[in-house]
């Protein structure tokens, strides 16, 4: 007798993708519950605890109801649940364009090659920088992206140095995002332009549209 795969879910909702390469696209978000990190700038702390158990079949059925092409699996930290890898594979099998939002602190190997992995490298300002798994950054590919959330000028300089040291832009897309309420967007944009960095500046579109409203 086999037990059906289950995952703990905080919410499943339909919105516009606010970040990364598919920004602006109607997307179904599957937010898994739980995270082993405690970043100072976290804006989804409500996903640390609680949630409800859903079977894999129930999740796939709910996602299909929205009729969207794009699905983003996020958290929390989705890879903290082992069954997340199977969820990603099943979404790809059903023809969705799938992205995964994950930290740089968990292993990203073994994920379906069709998934776009958006890896949030933890800056010193996050309070979780020592947990980054730096060697795996060299395993990423052009379908993937690396994100730096910048909380200060020193965070920016640290990120700029890592970008150059590992030539990250030659492996995949690199995103620099101002931490909401900590760095002025225009200021970060001017730093990037002054240094002629090969990165994409991004704002969180969903926050511009809906603020911190949950399920957006």
In the block, tokens 């598919």 appear at: 22
Give the predicted TM-score (pTM) of the model.
0.92
In a domain, 215, yes or no: no
In a domain, 1, yes or no: no
Distance, CA of 67 to CA of 14 (rounded, Å): 10
**Does residue 210 surpass a pLDDT of 70?**
no
| Residue 144 per-residue DSSP state | -
In a domain, 105, yes or no: yes
Question: In which band, very low, low, confident or very high, does the pLDDT at 1 lie, cut at 50, 70 and 90?
Answer: very low
In a domain, 216, yes or no: no
In a domain, 70, yes or no: yes
Per-residue pLDDT at 213: 63
CB-CB contact of 75 with 49 (8 Å): no
**Does residue 2 surpass a pLDDT of 50?**
no
What SS3 class is residue 168?
Answer: helix
In a domain, 165, yes or no: yes
Give me the domain span that covers residue 160.
6-210
What SS3 class is residue 174?
Answer: strand
Q: Write the pLDDT tens digit of every residue in 61-97.
A: 999 999 999 999 999 999 999 999 999 999 999 999 9
The number of domains in the chain is: 1
**Does residue 215 surpass a pLDDT of 70?**
no
> What CATH number did the domain enclosing 87 receive?
3.20.20.70
Distance, CA of 46 to CA of 188 (rounded, Å): 28
Q: Which helix (H) or strand (E) holds 188?
A: helix 185-195
In a domain, 81, yes or no: yes
Distance, CA of 170 to CA of 43 (rounded, Å): 30
Q: Is the dihedral of CA 106, 12, 10, 90 positive or negative?
A: negative
């Amino acid at each position: 007798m086999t037990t059906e795969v289950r995952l703990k879910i905080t919410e499943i909702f339909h919105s516009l993708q606010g970040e990364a390469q598919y920004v602006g696209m109607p997307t179904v978000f599957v937010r898994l519950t739980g995270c082993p990190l405690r970043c100072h700038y976290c804006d989804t702390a409500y996903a640390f605890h609680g949630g409800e158990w859903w079977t894999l079949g129930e999740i796939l059925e709910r996602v299909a109801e929205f009729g969207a092409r794009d699905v983003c699996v996020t958290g929390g930290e989705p890879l903290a649940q082992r069954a997340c890898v199977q969820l990603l594979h099943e979404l790809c099998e059903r023809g969705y364009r799938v992205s995964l939002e994950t930290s740089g602190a968990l292993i990203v190997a073994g994920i379906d090659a069709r998934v776009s992995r958006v890896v949030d490298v933890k800056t010193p300002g996050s309070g979780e920088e020592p947990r980054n798994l730096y060697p795996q950054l060299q395993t990423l590919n052009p379908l993937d992206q690396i994100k730096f959330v910048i909380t200060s000028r020193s965070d920016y300089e640290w990120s700029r140095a890592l970008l150059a040291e590992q030539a990250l832009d030659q492996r995949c897309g690199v995103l620099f995002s101002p931490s909401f309420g900590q760095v002025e967007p225009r200021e970060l944009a001017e730093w990037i332009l002054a240094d002629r960095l090969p990165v994409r500046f991004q704002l969180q579109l969903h926050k511009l549209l809906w603020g911190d409203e949950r399920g957006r």
